[in-house]
Structure 1
Amino acid sequence: MEKFHGHEIFVQLLRLLLLLLLSLQCLSSDYTPPSKYFINCGSSSTISDTTRTFVGDVSSDSFTLSPKPEAVEDSSPSPATSQLYRTARLFRSPSSYEFEIDQFGIYLVRLHFFPFSSPTDLFTALFDVSVSGLPLLLHNFTVQNTSNLPLIKEFLLTINISKFIVKFEPSQESSFAFVNAIELFIAPDSFIPHSALLVTRKGGKNSSYKGLLSRVLQKIHRVNVGGREIEHDSDTLWRNWVPDDTFLFNRSTARNKSYDQPIQYQEGQSEYNYSDRNIAPDNVYSTAKEMNTNKGDQLQFFNISWGFNVTKNATHLLRVHFCDITSASLSVSPWINLYINSIFSRNIKIITLAVPFYLDFVVVSDNSGLLNISIGPHRDSPVNNSFLNGLEIMEIMEELGSVSMENESKKKTTPLLVGLVVGGLALVCIVTVVLSLRSKCRKEKPAEASHWLPVTVDGGLSSHSRVYEATIHGSPVPHLNLGLKIPFAEIQSATKNFSGKLLVGKGGFGKVYQGTLRNGMKVAVKRSQPGHGQGLPEFQTEILVLSKIRHRHLVSLIGYCDERNEMILVYEFMQKGTLRNHLYDSDLPCLSWKQRLEICIGAARGLHYLHTGSEGGIIHRDIKSTNILLDDDFVAKVADFGLSRSGLPNQTHVSTAVKGTFGYLDPEYFRTQQLTDKSDVYSFGVVLLEVLCARPVINPSLPREQMNLAEWVMVWQKKGLLEQVIDPLLVGKVNLNSLRKFGESAEKCLKEDGTDRPTMGDVVWDLEYAFQLQQTAMQREPLEDSTNDAASTFPFPTIQRYPSYSLSTSDIHGPKRRDDSSERTESEVFSQLRIDNGR
C-alpha cells in the first residue's frame, strides 16, 4: 500500500473491495464431516438421519466389541422415541469397543444413554467408563430418572494412536453398564487451543493455562444466547445448543436480537479468534442477547448476567462467542466489558460488523459451584449497548493426558511396563558399565556422532532405548511420549526389512522408506544413518515437537523407534512427495498457478500454527521446498522438525548456533545468531520465489546476477516486471493482479530487517487474496495492484530457459537437468553446501 500515499480515496476503495471479497466466500476450515464412527449399540440395524449413519454393533467389521455382551431391546417403545434409543448394549462384566484410528488429532466422544423399559431396569445401572490409557471418564455413573432424556455425555480428547478403546465396567459385582449409542469422530484442526488466559479465584490477567491439548474436556453447557434451541442436524459437529433464558439472573435486563443477513466468516490475524461454522453454526451468530435499554436514557448503564452450575473447585474452559448484529456501523458499535465471576474483566472492542469471533478462558471455580458471566458497556463505548451470542463451558478433567499406546497390545505393553519397573536396577548397573567404557569417547565426540553397531534381522545386539541412554548420560529429554514407541520388529516388517524397492528418498538424515503397518496404515519410515546429519538431539526434538502438535498442514508423527541403536521416525505417508519434485528436476506434470497458490497457503497455515498455536511458539528453522510435502490431494504439510526450537515467552529471540540450509537462511539470523519466528518467514519467502520461478534457490551455473534466486527476483520485483522471471510453463496462465500480490508478499517476507517482515498470519492473508485475484476476474482502477485485469491477457515475452540444477541433498546421485540432460557440471559440488548440519 506504500504506493498509494496521497490517494486516500483509492485506499478506502481497496479496503471496501477486500471486505467484499471476504464476504463472497465462506472462509471456514477445510473440514469434511466424518463418516465414522457412529455406533447403534445392541443392534444389527443401520439407522440414518440427514447427515449421519449409525451402524449396528452386531456385525460391523470396522471395530471390535469384546467380549460379546448381551443386547437389550425396548419392550414397549413409544412412537416418539428415536430408533437409535430402542436398543442398548448391556455389560455385566468389563467389556470394550476397539476402534481403528487412521487420522490423529482432537476427537469428540459422545456416549448416549436412554433407559427404556426392559426386563433389566436400566435406571439401576452403576458403572465406570474409561478410554485407552486414561483414568475414568465416568465414575460410579448412573442415569437419573428425569424427563431430560436421552442423556448424552460428550468429551474432547487428543488421540495419537492407531487403536482406541472405550471400556465399560460395572462398579459393583452385582451391577451392570449399558450404552445406546457411541459417536467417535475427529474434530476440525485447531478446534481446541493449546493454551488460554487463566482466570483464578483471585482474578489475574497475565498468566496462561497451557497444555489443553493434553487434557480431556467434558462438555457442561453449550448455550445459544438470544436464540432458540439448535438441534444436532443444524450443526456441522452434531451439537445441541440450548437457549439461555433459564440461566439469566434478571430477564428484564436483556432482549433478543436476530439478524437475517449472511454471517461474514473471516480468516486472518486478529487479537480475537475468527470463527467458522465448525466452531459454531450460523444460528448462534445470527441471534444475540443485547441490553434492554431505554433509548431516552443514555446514562442507563447496567450489566446482563448469567449463572451456570459447574463443578466446585474445578478448572473449566470457557468459550464466549461474539458477532455484532446489533450495530448499523462501526461508529456506533459497542465496546463491551466481559466479566467472569465479578473478579475478572476483559474489554472487547468490535472491529468488524457481522464477523463472528470467540475468546477462550480457563476459569478455576470456587466452592459455590456457580460460574457467573456478565456483559456491559465500557465507559468509553460509542454506544450504550452490549451483546453476547453464545457460550460454552467444558470441564477440564485434571490428571488426564492424550491417549497413550497402552491398548495396542497387552502382551506388549505389560512386559514394557514391567521391564521399566523391575529392570530398573539392572539397567542402572548396565549404564554404569557403559558410562565407564564410553566416557573417553564421549569427551571427544558428541553422543549423536558415535558409530552405531550393525543391526541383524533376527534382533542382534542391544535393545535398550537410545533416547533413554541419552537421558542418563546427562541430556535429559522430559515428557517423551512413550506411547508413540513402535517396536523395531514391526518397522522391519512394515518395510520388508528396509527393502530397496520401498526406498522413496535419501538425504542428510539417512533414508526414507514406504511401509505398511499391521493395521494397514501406509507410513513413511525415516531411518537415520551413522555419519549423516540426523543426530540424537534432532531425533529427540522431532519427537517432542510432533507429539504435542496436530494440524492439517503439519506432517503427523505416527511413532518412533530407538531400539538397538536405531533412530527411526514414522510419519503419515505423503503420496505426492516433496514440493520441489513438482517444480523442477523431475518428469512430474507441471503444477498450475492455482495449485501452487493452494500449496503455499496450506504451508503458510501450518507454519502460522507452529508459530502461534504451540506452547511458547515453535520456530521451524529449516523451511524449504523439500520440507513441504504433498498428500494425494496436493494438500501441503510442513515436515522435518529436527532443527526446531521453542520460542521462549517474553523474549524477542533465541540466541543459538546457526543452522539451516544454504539459500534459504535468514541473513539477519546468520549475522546475529539471534533466531526469531521471522527467520522462518524469510525462508518461506524464498520458497515462494522457488514456486514462482521453478528453479533452485542457488544455481552456480547461471550468470552471477542470476545465481541467487532471491536477489535476482527482487531486482525484477522492484522494477514492477515480475512477469519477466515467471516459470515459462505458466506463461499466459497467471492473472497479473494475482502475480503482483504474490510478489509483494514474497518481497515483504525477504525484508533485510526481521522486524519489517510480516507474521505468517499476514502471509496467509496475502496469499489468500492472491488466490482470490486469480479466481475472480474483476475490473479495477489502474492504480489497484499496479494493473487491471485486461493486462492479464497480454502475451508474456519470450524467456530463455536456463538449465536448472537441484541443490537438495535429498538426491544422492547429484543434480539433474530439467531438460533430462545427463551432463554433470561443477555446480554439483555446491549441492552439498550446508550450514552447520542444515538438512
Structure 2
Amino acid sequence: MAILQLHRKHSLGGALVLLLQLSWLQLPSQGYYTQDKYFINCGSGSNFTDTITDTESHKVYVGEPNHVASFSSSSKEERSESAVPSPLYQTARIFGRESWYKFNIDTKGTYLVRLHFFSFSSPSNLVSARFNVSVPGFWLLQNFNATNGSINNSALVKEFFIHITSPSFKITFRPLPSSFAFVNAIELFLLPLHLIDDQVSRFNYSFNNPAISPYSGGLYSRVLETKHRLNVGGQTTNDSLLRKWIPDDTYLAYPGNANNASPYNDIRYRVNDDSYGPNANRFTAPPIVYGTAKVTKNISASTEDYKLLNITWRLPVEKNVDHLLRLHFCDFFSLQNDLTFFNLSIYDNYVRTVNNDRTAVSSVLPAPYYYDFVVHSDCSGHMNISITPDASDYVHKAFLNGLEIMKLIESSNSVPPDPEPKHRSRFLLLGSVVGGLVLIVVVALGFLWRLKLRKVKPVENSDWLPIPVAAGGSSHSKLIYLTSQGSPLPNINLELKIPLIELQSATKNFHASQIIGKGGFGNVYKGVLRNGMLVAVKRSQPGSGQGLPEFQTEIMVLSKIRHRHLVSLIGYCDERSEMILVYEYLEKGTLRDHLYNTNSQSLSWKQRLEICIGAARGLHYLHKGAAGGIIHRDVKSTNILLDVNLVAKVADFGLSKSGPLDSQPYVTTGVKGTFGYLDPEYFRLQQLTEKSDVYSFGVVLLEVLCARAVIDPSLPREQINLADWGMHCKNTGILQEIVDPSIKGQIDQSSLRKFSETVQKCLQEDGSDRPTMGDVLWDLEYALQLQMGANAIPREPHEDNSSSATESLQLPNVRRLPSLSTLGEADDSSVRCDESDCAEASVFSELKILDAR
C-alpha cells in the first residue's frame, strides 16, 4: 500500500526549520493564532508564495521534500507540459494506489481543509483520473473527476470544515479500478473558535407548516463542504481566512427587483473574536461583505406593491441533502434602531422576520450579524432564499449582505478504517501467532468435514453461500456458489473481473429497491463497492444466454478506451453464466430523462448545447482517436448519460463495430440499431460507416431541440417520425414552431440557425454528403459561441474534417428522408433489425438507465 506521510518534527531544531519554511499566515487578530497549519505544494520541491493583495495576507505552499515530507515508491511527481493559471498548479502528486497524507494535530477544534486540483496537460492525462478521497469516517469525494473550471480554465478547489479531536489526521486518496488519483496542493489549518458552532437550528418546511427546531446531533459530528459563498451586492474578494467570496448576480431569480446598495466603509464589529451567536466578529465575514448589499427597490409607502417586490436567490444544490445556510446582515441604511423589518423565506416558506427581535443583536448601528439554519434541499436541485419588505416596516426595504451554503456530509460505515499500527507488544504478537495457528487447524478440520459431506450429498446442495435473499430481490440471487467457474469469454481483460459475491453485497443481493433502470434483457442496479465507490450494475436476465456477443464486445471496447465523454467500465462478472457489467454511476441519468415525459428539471438551451458538444467529443474520439476506429451503431438519447455536473458521456457499446479500413469505406454487417435513429442508407445497403453514427446523432440533436420522442404514433401521420417532420419544418421555414416551448425564449436566433443547419447536414440521405463528427463538433461549438454572444471568429476545423464547417449559414435544401415510421414500434423502444428480420431483440446492450437518482 502506498504511503504518503507529512509529519512535523517535535525537536526544537525541527520546529524552527518548520517555522521558517511555513512562514506563518499573517492574520489580523492577536487573539487567533493557527497552531496547526499546513500549506503543501504537492509534487514539487520548491516553495510557492501566494499573495492575497486585498487582504494583505499571504500563504507559503511548502515544497514536499523540505524536511516535512517522505514518500514511498508508489507515488510519483508530474509536471505540466503547458501553461497553467498559477505556479501552484505546475506540479501534482500522482497516486497509483491507496495513499494518504498524515498530519499531526496539536489543538482540537474545527479545521479548514482545501484540496486543489488542476488537470494540466501531461503524459498521465490527469483529466481521466477517477478516485475517492476520505478522512476518518467520512467520504469527502466519491467517483471524483477533477475537471477544470470554465472560467479561464481555472483550478477546482474543494473546501471542507472538519472537527478534529485526534492527535493525528489522515487524508486518504483511493484510485478507482484501472485509474489513479492526484492532487496539486493541500491546505489544513485551525479555524477561530466558534466560527462554526456545534448547535444550530433546523428549518422544517414540510406540509406548509414551517417550523424551527434544534438540529439533532450537532454540526461537529458532520463534515461541511462549501457550495456557495456570495458577497451579495459586491465583487469578488478574499478574506483573512483566505476564503473566496464571489458576486451574487448570476443567482438572482428576479434581477429587476434588486439594487446594489452604495458601499459602506465604516463597518465596526460589536463583539470580540471569541463571541458567538447572532453577532458577527471579524472572522465571520469581512467588512467588505457587510459593507455591500442587495436592496429592494424604493416604492411608495401608500401602495401594497412591497408584498410582491421580493428578492430571490436560486442556487444549485444537491437534491434531498441537508445544507447549512448562513445569511449575513448589516443594517447601514436606517438612521436608528428598529426602523427596518422584512421577512425571510426559504422555498417560499416564511422563516422569520429579520430585525424583529434586536435583543440578541447589538443595538448600535451598523451592527453585523448572521443567522444559521440547517435546511434539507428538495428534489428540484436548487435552494430558493427570498427577502420581502414587511407591512410594519417604515421604509418598506429588505436587504441581504452575504450568503453561504455548505453541504452536510454524514459519516459512513463504508469508509475503510486505518490499518492497525505496526508497533505492537511481543505479547500481542505472540497471541496473534497462536490465534492464527488455531484458526488454520479449525479451517482444515472444516475442510475435511465438508469433503466427507460431499460424498453423500449432491454438489448443488452443499456449496451454497449462507447469504439470505432480501425481500424483493432477484429469484436468481437466492444463493451463490462459493467457488466460481472459469471465464467463458476468451481474450478479455481478467483484471477487471469482480467476484459475484461482491456485486451481490454491493446491490443488497440485487434487491428491487436498488433498481435504477430496466430493459428487455435485465435490470440496472445502484451499488456501492467495498471501496465506497458508487456504481451502476447492469445484469442480464440470469440463465437466458442471450446477448453474449454484445456483453463481450462491450468489455473489449471499454477496457481499451478511456475518455471524459465515454462512460467508464469499472469491471464485469461472468461467474455461473452470469453477464454483469459494472459502470461508473452517473447521477443525472440519461439525456432523454431531462427532455420529455419526466419530472426532471428542464435543461436550458446552453446546457443542451454543452451536452451535445460533450457527446460529439466522445463520438469523435471513438471514430478517430480509438485504435482502428470504432462505430457506435446505437447512438440515441438514452445512451447519452449525464453526471452530477451534466457532463455528457456516451454509453452502451454492445453493438459497436471496429471502423472500416482505409481500403474499404464501409463494414458489411447485419442491420442493428434503434428505429427513429437508424441511418436509412445503412438500413437499405447493410453497409455500416462512421456516417451512420452521424445520422443517428443528428436525430438526437433534433430531439434535444424539440423535446419529443423520435417516433410518436399518437401524432398525425406526417409528424410521427421526428427526423422527417423536423426536416420538413426546416425546409418550409417553420422549425421555430416545433422548438421546445421551455427554451424558445432563451435561444439566440443565430445559434438556432447554426444548430438547425448542423442537424440538416447530419440527416442527409447519402452518407457521403454528411459531415464527420469532427465537423459536427466544430459547428456545435460555434453555435454555443453564438449563443454566448462571443465574437465567434471562425477557426480552423479539426484535422479530420472532410467538409467545410465555415460555409454560409444558409445551406441548400436536402432531399426528403424516407419515413422509418413504418418499420417497427413507436417511441424509443430499442427495436433492432437484424438483416431481414425486424423484432424486439433482447440483447444486453439494450438496457436503458431510466432514473439514476
Question: What TM-score bracket applies, with the shorter chain setting the length?
Answer: 0.3 to 0.5
Which TM-score applies when normalising by structure 2?
0.43
Which TM-score applies when normalising by structure 1?
0.43
